[in-house]
Every structure is written in C-alpha cells, then in structure tokens.
Amino acid sequence: MRRRRASLLPVAIGCAAVLPLLSGLSPATAGVGAVVAIWVVLVNGYTVTYGFAGQFSVGHAAVWGVGAYATAIVMARLGWSFWSAIPVAIVAGCLAGAVFGLPAWRLRGDHMALMTLAGGIIVQQLMLNWSVTGGADGIANIPPVSIGGRPLNDTGYYVLLGAIALLCTAFTSYLKHSAVGLSWRAVRDDELAAEASGIRIARAKVIGFVVGGGFAGLSGGLYAVFNGFVSSVSFGVDQSVLVILMVLLGGVGRVWGSALAAALLTWLMAELTTLSAVSVGITGFLMLAAIIFRVRSGDWPRGWAGRARRVVGRAARGRPPAHVAAPAVGEDRAPRRAEDVAPHSSAMEEVR
C-alpha cells in the first residue's frame, strides 16, 4: 500500500504540470513554471548529495553558478548552441562538485559543512572579481533556446524545462534504488557498518558530490539560457540555504517530496517577488520552524509531508498521534511500527 501511495505522487506532479497547458497559460504563469522547473533540477542535486550520501553542503549554489557561467561563456562569447552548451554545464558542475567533495576524504559533519560554506563564498567572490566572468557586470546577451530556427517563448520554456525537471526527478528516484544509491544510503546511515561491508566511504562521498554537482550544473545552464543574463549575486549562500530548506521540508532522501517542496516554495517566492522583505521573512520563519521541528521530533528524514501523513494515518485508524497520548507510568508502551522506528529505509540490509 505504501508503494502504491508513493507511486501516485509522481503521477500527481506530472498531471499538475500538464493541466495548465490544457487550460491555457499566460506568459507570466509560464515563466514562473519554468523557474520552478529550474529549482526542481537543482534540488534533485542536493537530494543526491545530502539526502542519499548524507553530505551536508552549504556550497550547492556555488556549483549551480559554475554551471550557469560555463553556459553563459560558451554561448555568449563562443557562439555555441544550447544543445552543445548544456553538456559543458553538466561537466563543469561535476568538476566543481568533485572539488567540493575532495575534503570528504578527511572531513565530516560540521567541519565538512564549514568547508563547503567557505568554498561557496570563495567561488562567489571569484565570479564577482574575475574578468572572465564579467566581474560585477556579469554576462549578458545569452542567446535563447531555438528549435527549428525559432526561439522559444515562455510557454515553450515551460514545456522544455518542465520535461527536463520530470526526467531528472525520475532519474534521481532510480538512483536511490540503484547499487550506488544503496551504497550512499549505507554510508549515510552508518559509516562504520558500511566500511565493514566493503564500501569505500570516501569514494562514495565524493561520487555523491560529483553527481549532485552534475544536476546543479544542468540547472545552472537552464537558468542562464532562460534569464539571458548571469551575475554572481544569484549564487550566494542564501540560495544554498533555500535549497537546504526545500529538501528539509520535502523530506531528506525523499525525491518526489523534495521536488514538490521546491515547486511550492519557488511559486511562493515568485508570488512575493514585489515584497522582498516579506519573502525573506517567510524563508527565515520556515527555516527556523524546520530547525525547531527537527529538535523536538527528530523528523527531518520524513519531512513535514511525511509527518502529516503519519498523523492522518493514525487518526484514520482511531489511534491518537504519539505526542498526544503518552502511556501512563507503569503502562506498557505499544510497540511502534518499523516505519516509525527507522525513518530511513534499511540500506545496509539491501547492500548485503
């Protein structure tokens, strides 16, 4: 039953993406949909790096920027087409991810997070001051995507980028259950047990950074061609924090849940674009609420959607939520279900 419910989520997301086309799209709505698709691809990369491999990075937006600038340089200055530039963006993102992931051979936990934070700031400063990247002026006049010699309009971008986002999310879901995905999850859950099973810990971590960087590079390339302009201010630490928030709300390691959270938060930010102070305040409030929620319930892996589904399921079976009815002193506590005890699937058992 749980697998059936999980399989309905990607179908529902796909239908939600197609329905606006059937009812007609305004250019503004199509533009927001294209931006949503870009962020979904970006969040898929962080789902791999953090959700699967367990590597908490605060420099994901910097890798995103590397892909965007690589696309801008080869298209605006070398005259390459979109279809030739996108592989360059993916390779650039993979290389940047590898650079961020190399310290994983020695660092872990908070030290790794601080290193990626410093690396993200350094990369942004390079973008701001390097002449190749245009300095503070950035790179403009990036050619639009053309199909059959005709540049795409906003609706065309919505269809193209939406299709790419759905394919990337499906591929991320496939990676989760692949051999490399099982090794990532084993490392995330218990490094000592994973090493005892023959998994090369540092190698698995670096591969997680590389694959996540490839997704970020692809998202950066899509961002560059859609906006026609890139600047270093778009790839700061605040954008990395927003990506982290999306993954936390959707559920760490939950592919379609994170994609849905990315879509909802991106849409919310787009609706509040004229109220920048309000949008920043909402983002800060959600981040603070997510941290408090994690400290009190230990439920980041499920995400808020998973927590709500569990509470609704208990209510439907006539059982009160766990935090409402605690057993009296001396009363035996009812055994909890396996899904309540272990929020992550047992990757170690699957590896063995």
Q: Where are the domains of the chain?
A: 2-322+339-351
- Which pTM value belongs to this model? 0.78
Encode pLDDT of 43-74 as tens digits: 999 999 998 988 888 999 999 999 999 999 99
pLDDT digits (tens, 9 = 90+) for 170-222: 999 999 989 898 999 898 888 888 888 888 888 899 999 999 999 999 999 99
Buried b / exposed e across 81-102, counting CB within 10 Å, b at 16+? ebeebbebbbebbbbbbebbbe
CATH topology of domain 2-322+339-351: ABC transporter involved in vitamin B12 uptake, BtuC (1.10.3470)
Q: What is the pLDDT, as a whole number, of residue 329? A: 43
What pLDDT sits at residue 282? 66
Q: Would you say 301 and 343 are in contact if contact means Cβ atoms under 8 Å apart?
A: yes
Q: Nearest CA to 33 among 45, 22, 21, 42?
A: 21
Structure tokens, 66: 């590397």
Write down the pLDDT at residue 330: 46
Q: Which positions ≥6 away from 287 have C-beta within 8 Å? A: 241, 245
Rounded distance, CA 99 to CA 337, Å?
41
pLDDT of residue 36: 92
Question: In which residue ranges of the chain is pLDDT below 70?
Answer: 1-25, 272-284, 286-352
pLDDT at 131: 87
